[in-house]
Structure 1
């Protein structure tokens, strides 16, 4: 057990607030029982430190921390709440000896208030709490952390970067639901999407990497959470997640799109409560349920290679859903010229990329197996010269995207 004695706010401020030629941003991503952080130089893109606080409010909590690309160290500490966690983070960062010029907060649900990133004020923080019923496990914790940062360091500006912002202005025919208007209006029901910060970063990256020749892009953010996004010249035209991140693709533990009446059937015939169904669909379904082995694609690929039929079925269902909804994203733009794989599975699994592309062979999509097998931290094109569209693998960097927003907004 590691115990730290806090230096006090005055001592911490003397470390974190100072003169520097570059803008250093602390990016914070608070979950319901976790808190990830990264301190980076926006201009050089150098990451000074990063880590994660896990099992907040649960026994066995710890902090994993690394500096300057070094090995991660685990610190076993009691983390009864997010306030304690963020205090520990600031205490750890004190040893990095880099001033913090701004703090960026990833907020899962921006609701109807955040069509773009905004500087934190009493009003904008109130908005995060107001829309929290759309993402109760995340927004309340995120709002608490923002409030703590403001209290501890009122001299440092904070910025809210909502995951839903990039999708907010998609065409009305894509984001509206066919429900009674008075219900939709009173409860703000629409497709909000998620992973918007990642999709926005992918658009910027592929636009640059392709020398501005990519115009109709399907961004495939494929990880434990997964979504596709149709991006036409930088504008979101549609995405696969809906009112919540449960909709769309099959994910690690989320079921993705199912007949809405499944909920009623489970309630009436299975006698499950609404909370039990919520837990089932978000935490007990997806690849984990299909394979019976794991929610991790690496385990599922290994199982399929050993002849496990349920693991193979998980791969088949997952790739079928990605390919079919890829076609939906193409329709949103009336065409496509570029496909980008990103996030944990999209960046690292050549096999899963191949599975998806094989299902799109009817569209003329082809990838070079040798290029597909290469692993790199740099953007790389893996399609063949005769492919009907360009296929890229681009590592996402949501932290950098958030930091760039912080620099833009706080620099004004």
Structure 2
């Protein structure tokens, strides 16, 4: 089935057209700086990279350019899948777009206002432009929705929790689900307790037992858990009150600070990109080294926490930008788990490949893998399953 996968952000729109049977990607690209001066579309069609410098005042214009670009591909679009960052309490699984489900996406948008509203708008545009095509919503939160209540419930008054739907929702669920599927096949179904490590500019861990999410590190929003590129990760909640009352920062100021000005960027004082931070550390920058030390320390702590939620782990998998590409960070994290008997082979760890691979030693207590993620394929497979 030829599926168009769309992932709309506040000022961007990524797209990919692929065949779910052959897994061939016919076209992919990203509309960048939507609503901002200097907007453009970088894309690859039929193996040829191109860039279109064009004014895109809104997502509707961006989608129109995407469909114009896709005319160069001699493949019919048979369904459209939409990544939704926050499915809230309505989406324990992916769902076909109807007036009702689209309304749900908008209703839960306050939990992810920069993304949900944009994606809901794009869904409407796709329905208007191609009413004959089916659309499917694939929420990032769905995989985590049915984790045990002891993991998702916050110790807040029940009336508050129930009225405002306050709970752990998690994120990166589509990626974690793909990692489980791939690891399960790769290990001939011998994996039962997997800690999936999605480490990138946004980062989260997930404890997966026999295909079911048992816990994850992100919470009500993607701010919780690991230190990330610009997000602070877990801090004492009272920090917000303190900065507001004593520092004079508004709630919006603190929101921006914790989401966009913290993390590796804040500690290193150099960049939110781990590659720049590693370069700085290699050149003797103490702040960059501290940023890496904190990232690795926190990741190892939370891996152990995820394992505790399953009462053990037999497999770990690194994925996403940092997890797939930084042998140095993988080694540093695993080194801190040596007390659990986890070991990796330095030579295997240094291998670069687009395929899943084992990097642990034969005597390691836990099998450690590197698995390139493919959220677009996972979304496309959901479209195929729901639309046939």
- Does the TM-score normalized on the shorter chain lie above 0.5? yes
1:277 and 2:254 correspond:
yes
Task: Work out the CA distance in 1 between the residues paired with 2:200 and 2:310.
Answer: 24
Quote the residue 1:189 is aligned against. Answer: 166
Q: Report the TM-score, using the length of structure 2 for normalisation.
A: 0.99
More off after superposition, 128-137 vs 72-81: 72-81
In 1, distance between residues paired with 2:279 and 2:346?
19
Q: How does 1:366-385 map to 2 (within 5 A)?
A: 366-385=343-362
For each residue in 1:227-260, what CA deviation from the matched residue of structure 2 results, as whole angstroms up to 9, or x when unmatched?
A: 0000000000000000000000000000000000
Superposed counterparts of 1:72-83, under 5 Å:
72-83=49-60
Please point out which of 29, 34, 42 is paired with 1:56.
34
Indicate the RMSD between aligned Cα atoms, in angstroms: 0.6
Distance 1:268 1:190 in 2: 26
Q: Among 376, 379, 386, which residue is 1:402 paired with?
A: 379
Structure 1 counterpart SS, 2:214: strand
Q: Bigger CA drift: 61-70 or 273-282?
A: 61-70
Q: Runs of at least 4 residues of structure 1 off by over 4 A?
A: none
Pair 1:27 & 2:5 matched: yes
Q: Provide structure 2 residue ranges, at least 5 long, that are not aligned to the other structure.
A: none
Residues in 1 aligned to 2:46 and 2:361: alpha-carbon distance in whole angstroms: 37
CA contact (8 A) 2:45 2:72 kept: no
- String of CA shifts for 1:124-183, please: whole Å, max 9, x gaps: 000000000111111000000000000000000000000000000000000000011100
Could you give the per-residue CA deviations for residues 31-58 of structure 1, whole angstroms, max 9, x where no partner exists? 0110000000010000000000011111
Please name the residue that 1:8 is paired with: none
1:317 pairs with 2:268: no
Q: How does 1:201-280 map to 2 (within 5 A)?
A: 201-280=178-257
Decide whether the 8 Å contact of 1:47 with 1:69 is kept in 2.
no
1:69 offset after TM fit, Å?
3.7
Once the two structures are TM-superposed, the CA of residue 68 in structure 1 deviates from its matched residue by 3.3
